[in-house]
């Protein structure tokens, strides 16, 4: 685990973008393409905007899948895809760096699983894990839509799960599973803002495991980068 701390958000986001760019190039030495998982959350907006300026990344060799999504229309302000699209995908597309076929959004089309199995099938066309996963912690230490002391963090699904009783609105969400996170090769985990200070302390302290602080799950990843505004 490597911790990168800086209160200057522009500097921190630039460092994170450089780490991601280096990781992408490292993986593409061994593979033709890679799968990059992105979570939602306000903490990642600035990072994604900075990342969109990285023109030397071979974007055409990257397939993007969501790590979590709210079960809302894509037009909703609560949609993670909408946030990521505006911060990253649209900017790369405008420079003709990223083909539309490389963007895999979660299409909600069926109840009760809301297209979950279709998304898993789509992922398996390219692999069954994220080469790189970008996450941000919530105030309570949740990552993606895996919440402390909740059914979501106990769930044993191999890829994704539907959360129908999220303790944080909206109630219905799609999330990467605990097992899927543990198959990731490289993880970037963000703790940004004063509201995440307690979660960051819980993440660092010994004792309680990932059931109490889901962010601790990432400590099992061989190559983990923690980006934080807390010193």
Domain parsing of the chain, residue ranges: 2-228
pLDDT digits (tens, 9 = 90+) for 62-90: 999 999 999 998 889 999 999 999 999 99
Q: How far apart are CA 156 and CA 55, in angstroms?
A: 38
Q: Do β-strands 186-191 and 132-136 pair in parallel, antiparallel, or remain unpaired?
A: parallel
Which of 191, 195, 197, 192 is CA-nearest to residue 224?
191
User: Tokens 């921190």 sit at which residue?
Assistant: 12
Q: What is the pLDDT of residue 111?
A: 73
Residue 152's pLDDT is 97
Counts of helices then strands in the chain (DSSP H, E): 8, 10
Give the predicted TM-score (pTM) of the model. 0.95
Task: Quote the CA–CA distance of 172 and 76 in Å, as a whole number.
Answer: 14
Give the model's pLDDT for residue 21.
97
Close Cβ partners of 85 (under 8 Å, ≥ 6 residues apart): 103
> According to the model, what pLDDT value does residue 226 have?
98
Is CATH 3.20.20.140 the classification given to domain 2-228?
no
| Nearest by Cα to 134 from 123, 124, 144 | 144
Q: Which residues of the chain have pLDDT under 50?
A: none
Distances (CA, A) of 209 to 41, 93, 162, 202: 23, 41, 23, 9
**Extended beta strands in the chain, E state:** 2-5, 34-38, 62-66, 68-70, 103-104, 132-136, 160-163, 173-176, 186-191, 223-228
């Amino acid at each position: 685990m490597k911790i990168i701390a800086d209160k200057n958000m522009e500097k921190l986001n630039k460092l994170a973008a450089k780490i991601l760019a280096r990781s992408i190039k490292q993986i593409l030495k061994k593979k033709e393409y890679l799968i990059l998982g992105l979570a939602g959350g306000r903490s990642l907006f600035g990072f994604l905007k900075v990342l969109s300026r990285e023109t030397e990344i071979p974007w055409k060799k990257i397939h993007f899948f969501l790590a979590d999504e709210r079960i809302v229309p894509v037009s909703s302000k609560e949609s993670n895809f909408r946030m990521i699209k505006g911060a990253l995908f649209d900017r790369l597309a405008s420079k003709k760096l990223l083909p539309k076929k490389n963007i895999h959004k979660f299409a909600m089309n069926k109840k009760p699983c809301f297209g979950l199995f279709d998304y898993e099938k789509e992922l398996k066309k390219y692999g069954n894990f994220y080469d790189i996963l970008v996450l941000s912690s919530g105030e309570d230490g949740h990552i993606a839509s895996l919440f402390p002391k909740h059914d979501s963090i106990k769930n044993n699904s191999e890829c994704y799960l539907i959360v129908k009783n999220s303790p944080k609105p909206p109630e219905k969400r799609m999330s990467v599973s605990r097992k899927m996170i543990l198959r990731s090769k490289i993880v970037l985990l963000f703790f940004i803002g004063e509201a995440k200070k307690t979660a960051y302390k819980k993440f660092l302290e010994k004792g309680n495991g990932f059931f109490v602080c889901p962010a601790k799950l990432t400590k099992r990843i061989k190559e983990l980068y923690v980006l934080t505004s807390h010193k």
